C-alpha cells in the first residue's frame, strides 16, 4: 500500500508560498499569519496520518502472521496427538511423558482462544449475507464488554416497550372491547418480528467476537421471529380471537421475564469485569459463582413458568385446530412452534444448569478472571 497516498504537494507549496509581511493591510497580515501557523500544524498532522497508515499496514501483516501461526500450531498439535496415540505398548515411564506432552498441548490450545480475542474473525454466512464483507471484529476486551453491555441494554429497552404495549392491549380489553382493533395487535407483533430479527444479527456479531451463547438461544430467536411473523399475518376471526387474550398475557409475561434476565446478565457482566480488575483472590471467583447460583435459583421458577406457558399455548392451539370453525393454517403451525420452543428451552436450560454444576473449577476460575480483563496481561493460576 502506498502510505503517502492522499498528501498533496501542490497544496503544501501553495500554503508555504504565503508571506504575510507582503501585505500592507494588518488584518490580512494577521489572517495570513494564522494560515501559516495552521500550515505548520497541518504538516505535523500529515506526518501523524502517514505514520498511522504505516502502523495499520504493520498491524495487518502481524494479524495475518499470528492467524497463520495459530493455524500452524493447531495442525502440528493435531499431528503430535495422532503420533502419541499411535505409539504401541507404552511403558509406565513412556505413559508419564505422554501425559505430560498432552497436558502441555491442551494448555497451549486454551491460550489460542485468548490470542484470538485480539485477532480479526470471519463473519460467517449469516452476517456475510446481511452485512456483506464488512469487518465486525472487536479487537480488545473493553470493546467486547461495551458491545455486550449495549446488547443487554437494547434487550431491556425493547422488553419494557413490549411490556407496556402488551399491558395496554391486555388490560384495555377488560375495560373496552379492543377485539376490533386488530391493527393494534399487529403493531406489537411487528415490533416482535423486528426485535427478534435484530437480536439474531447482534448475537451473531457477539459470537464472531468470542461470545459463548448456546446455539439453541440463537435458533430460539430465529424461531421466535417466525412465530411473531406468522401471528402477524394470522387473519382476524374465530381462532384468532379465541387465542388473542392468552397470547397477550404470554407476551406480557415473557417481557417481564426478559427484564429479570437482564438484571441477572448485567450482574454477571459487572462482576466479571470486576474480577478482571482485582488482585488474584480466589474468594472473589467463589463470590461470583455464589452470586451466579443465587441468581439462577431466583430466575429458574420464572423461566419454568414461561416454558409451561409455551406448552399450554401449544395445547390450546392444538385444540383450536381441532375445532371445525378454525380454518387458518397458522393455528397448527403455531402450535408446533410453541411446542418446539418449550422443548428447546427446557432441555437447553437443564443442560446449562448441569454444565454449571459439573464444570472443571480450575479451568473455570481462570476463564472468569480473564474474560473481561482489559489490560493484556493474563492472570495465571
**Chain residues in the site for ligand COA (CB under 6 A):** 148, 206, 211-214, 217, 254, 257-258, 261, 264-265, 268, 296, 299, 303, 306, 345, 349, 352
| Cα-to-chain-centroid distance, residue 258 | 16
Question: Coil, strand, or helix at residue 258?
Answer: helix
Distance in Å, CB of 187 to ligand COA, minimum? 21
Over its C-alpha atoms, the chain yields an Rg (Å, rounded) of: 30
Q: What are the grid coordinates assigned to 197, written together?
A: 430479527
DSSP 21: G
Distance in Å, CB of 258 to ligand COA, minimum? 6
Distance in Å, CB of 210 to ligand COA, minimum? 7
Q: Would you say 326 or 341 has its CB closer to ligand COA?
A: 341
Q: Would you say 261 or 330 has its CB closer to ligand COA?
A: 261
Q: Would you say 239 or 261 has its CB closer to ligand COA?
A: 261
* Cβ-proximal residues to 131 (8 Å cutoff; 6+ apart), any chain: 123, 201
Q: Would you say 171 or 293 has its CB closer to ligand COA?
A: 293
User: Which residue's entry shows cell 513412556?
Assistant: 94
Report the b/e string of 14-48 with b at 16+ CB within 10 A. ebeeeeeeeeeeeeeeeebeeeeeeeeeeeeeeee
Distance in Å, CB of 370 to ligand COA, minimum? 12
Q: Would you say 29 or 258 has its CB closer to ligand COA?
A: 258
Q: Would you say 126 or 217 has its CB closer to ligand COA?
A: 217
Distance in Å, CB of 89 to ligand COA, minimum? 42
Q: Would you say 168 or 296 has its CB closer to ligand COA?
A: 296
Distance in Å, CB of 66 to ligand COA, minimum? 22
Whole-number Å distance between alpha carbons of 336 and 321: 11
Whole-number Å distance between alpha carbons of 105 and 331: 54
Distance in Å, CB of 41 to ligand COA, minimum? 43
Q: What is the 3-state secondary structure (H, E, C) of 295-329?
A: HHHHHHHHHHHHHHHHHHHHHHHHHHHHCCCCCCC
Amino acid at each position: 500500500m502506498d502510505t503517502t497516498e492522499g498528501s498533496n504537494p501542490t497544496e503544501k507549496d501553495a500554503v508555504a508560498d504565503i508571506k504575510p509581511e507582503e501585505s500592507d493591510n494588518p488584518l490580512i497580515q494577521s489572517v495570513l499569519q494564522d494560515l501559516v501557523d495552521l500550515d505548520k500544524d497541518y504538516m505535523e498532522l500529515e506526518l501523524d496520518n502517514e505514520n498511522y497508515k504505516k502502523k495499520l499496514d504493520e498491524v495487518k501483516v502481524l494479524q495475518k502472521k499470528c492467524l497463520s501461526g495459530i493455524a500452524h500450531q493447531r495442525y502440528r498439535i493435531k499431528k503430535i496427538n495422532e503420533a502419541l496415540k499411535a505409539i504401541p505398548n507404552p511403558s509406565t515411564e513412556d505413559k508419564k511423558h505422554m501425559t505430560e506432552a498432552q497436558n502441555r498441548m491442551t494448555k497451549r490450545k486454551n491460550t489460542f482462544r485468548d490470542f484470538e480475542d485480539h485477532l480479526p474473525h470471519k463473519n460467517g454466512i449469516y452476517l456475510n449475507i446481511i452485512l456483506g464483507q464488512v469487518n465486525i471484529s472487536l479487537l480488545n476486551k473493553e470493546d467486547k464488554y461495551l458491545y455486550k453491555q449495549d446488547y443487554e441494554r437494547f434487550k431491556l429497552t425493547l422488553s419494557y416497550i413490549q411490556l407496556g404495549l402488551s399491558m395496554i392491549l391486555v388490560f384495555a380489553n377488560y375495560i373496552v372491547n379492543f377485539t376490533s382493533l386488530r391493527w393494534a395487535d399487529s403493531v406489537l407483533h411487528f415490533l416482535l418480528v423486528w426485535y427478534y430479527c435484530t437480536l439474531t444479527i447482534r448475537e451473531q456479531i457477539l459470537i464472531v467476537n468470542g461470545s459463548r451463547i448456546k446455539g439453541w438461544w440463537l435458533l430460539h430467536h430465529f424461531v421466535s421471529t417466525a412465530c411473531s411473523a406468522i401471528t402477524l399475518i394470522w387473519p382476524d376471526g374465530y381462532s384468532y380471537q379465541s387465542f388473542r387474550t392468552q397470547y397477550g398475557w404470554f407476551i406480557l409475561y415473557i417481557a417481564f421475564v426478559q427484564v429479570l434476565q437482564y438484571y441477572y446478565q448485567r450482574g454477571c457482566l459487572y462482576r466479571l469485569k470486576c474480577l478482571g480488575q482485582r488482585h488474584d483472590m480466589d474468594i472473589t471467583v467463589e463470590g461470583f459463582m455464589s452470586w451466579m447460583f443465587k441468581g439462577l435459583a431466583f430466575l429458574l421458577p420464572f423461566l419454568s413458568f414461561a416454558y409451561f406457558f409455551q406448552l399450554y399455548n401449544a395445547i390450546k392451539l392444538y385444540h383450536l385446530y381441532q375445532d371445525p370453525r378454525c380454518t387458518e393454517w397458522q393455528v397448527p403451525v403455531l402450535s408446533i412452534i410453541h411446542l418446539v420452543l418449550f422443548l428447546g428451552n427446557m432441555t437447553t436450560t437443564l443442560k446449562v444448569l448441569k454444565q454449571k454444576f459439573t464444570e472443571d473449577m480450575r479451568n473455570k476460575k481462570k476463564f472468569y478472571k480473564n474474560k473481561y480483563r482489559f489490560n493484556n496481561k493474563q492472570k495465571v493460576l
